[in-house]
Amino acid sequence: MSRRYFGTDGVRGRVGTHPMTAEFALRLAGAAAGVLAPQGGKVLVGKDTRLSGYMFESALEAGFVASGVNVLLAGPLPTPGIAFLVQRLGCDFGAVISASHNRFDDNGIKFFDHAGGKLADALEEAIESRLDGPATTRESAALGRAIRVDRERALYQDFCAATMPAGMRLDGMKLVIDCANGAAYKVAPRVLADLGADIVPIGCSPNGRNINDGCGSTDTALLKLTVAGVRADAGIALDGDGDRVVMVDQLGRGVDGDQLLLLLAKARLAAGELRGPVVGTVMSNLGLELALSELGIPFLRAPVGDRHVLQLLRTHNGTLGGETSGHLLCLDKATTGDGLVAALQVLAVMKATGKPLAELVSGMRHFPQKLVNVKVARRFDAGAHAGVAAAVAAVERALGSRGRVVLRASGTEPLIRVMVEGEDAEAVARHAAALAEAVSAATPAA
């Protein structure tokens, strides 16, 4: 079945434009309830800090209640917090209203199953199959109820703190925490402070419109300045829904998801706690793969998207994976990517070794990457076109074993993404431009 609405992470789009309307959210709630709790049950609903979250929260609440499902409204809470509380509160499923790292004028809706995991493709397809029908409204006696459970965020805070090694605290560490004016603005500073850290919060004053605006994991300029200015030990940047993390070392230099993944893999290997391969994506830097190889750690690449990383980890019985953007999965600690939990694991390594973040991430070389987005009339398999395939083969011969080429269609826009990676930045840029030209020439008519 070709899915019309669900992408790599739920349904997402511009607010006010189909499907991100109140009417669609109401029908989506009814369809989800029919698949995930057909006999009635309980759903946990959380959101980030976007202005439109109030509207979508009300629409989902109405749709769920009309379908006979009881609704627990958690308010602003990180996406992984909802995944955790779905299990803890015994819910049949969870719903999160968020567009992650996007601007405030976008929003999205995604679901978790009863175990706090992303929905299987078959379940998302079953939900879509019900969307063309009318919204369900049961008779009065069979309707659900709705209650606020805002205080339950304390359970999630306790869970995050408990992922640190037993007895370990953060006393003596000065940390800058940037919550992107998003869903983690209450819980992340509280967890770090309760663990004894001296914290400097930024990006913790949401107004409905400033989520991911000049702050958070997608824009660390202010975080870098603040870390250096207050002489902090490190900076932590989450995204709008709290499932991504990147960091800044004590010198004000950025540390991306690949570097953090390598740091955690090395620490778990040394402790005898690393299980299975480490999983990245096709966009993970070649330097990560080579560094892991030198340690004897198997490395696998999944398609872009943390759900694909999760699937590959489960297939190979692994526990550690992630993306350059900061989606880090520590499946020995949480069921889904959790920015705060991942940050705490990094801080635990810093505490246990007594080494600064800059030293801990110094062992990885970043290979130059060049990404070019080629606009196309419609999506197509660029790699299967004879002219493009020949151009790719020529570039791969030139790069040898110390470089890579990735062609992939965007899941949300009419774009073919061309990525070239190698040792020489000028050669990489030249090869990327040549491949982009080949893809553009091969683009089919609309």
Indicate the domain borders of the chain: 11-153, 163-360, 369-442
Q: What is the spatial distance between Cα 356 and Cα 27, in angstroms, rounded to a whole number?
A: 51
User: In terms of DSSP bridges, do strands 93-97 and 106-112 run parallel, antiparallel, or are they unpaired?
Assistant: antiparallel
Instruction: Residue 14: count other Cβ atoms within 10 Å of its Cβ.
Output: 14
CATH architecture of the domain 369-442 equals: 2-Layer Sandwich (3.30)
The residues pairing with 278 across neighbouring beta strands, listed in sequence order, are 299, 320
Of 1.10.10.10, 1.10.150.120, 3.10.20.600, 3.40.120.10, the CATH number of 163-360 is: 3.40.120.10
2 is catalytic: no
- pLDDT of the residue at 2: 62
- pLDDT of the residue at 135: 84
- pLDDT of the residue at 9: 85
- pLDDT of the residue at 412: 63
One pLDDT digit (tens) per residue for the chain, 446 residues? 467 899 878 999 999 999 999 999 999 999 999 999 999 999 999 999 999 999 999 999 999 999 999 999 999 999 999 999 999 999 999 999 999 999 999 999 999 999 999 899 999 999 999 998 888 899 999 999 999 999 999 999 999 999 999 999 999 999 999 999 999 999 999 999 999 999 999 999 999 999 999 999 999 999 999 999 999 999 999 999 999 999 999 999 999 999 999 999 999 999 999 999 999 999 999 999 999 999 999 999 999 888 899 999 999 999 999 999 999 999 999 999 999 999 999 999 999 999 999 999 998 999 999 999 999 887 788 889 999 999 999 999 999 988 999 998 876 678 899 999 999 999 999 999 999 999 999 988 65
Please tell me if the domain spanning 11-153 has the same topology as the one spanning 163-360.
yes
Q: What is the spatial distance between Cα 336 and Cα 328, in angstroms, rounded to a whole number?
A: 9
Give buried/exposed letters for 410-424 (b at 16+ CB in 10 A, else e).
eeeeebbbbbbbbee
Q: Active site residue: 52, 98, 100, 284, which one?
A: 100
**Dihedral angle over CA of 44, 49, 53, 54, nearest 10:** 90
Q: Does domain 11-153 have CATH number 3.90.550.10?
A: no
- pLDDT of the residue at 363: 85
Long-range contacts of 434-438 (CB under 8 A, 24+ apart): 434/391, 434/395, 435/372, 435/388, 435/391, 435/392, 435/395, 435/405, 435/407, 436/372, 436/374, 438/387, 438/388, 438/391
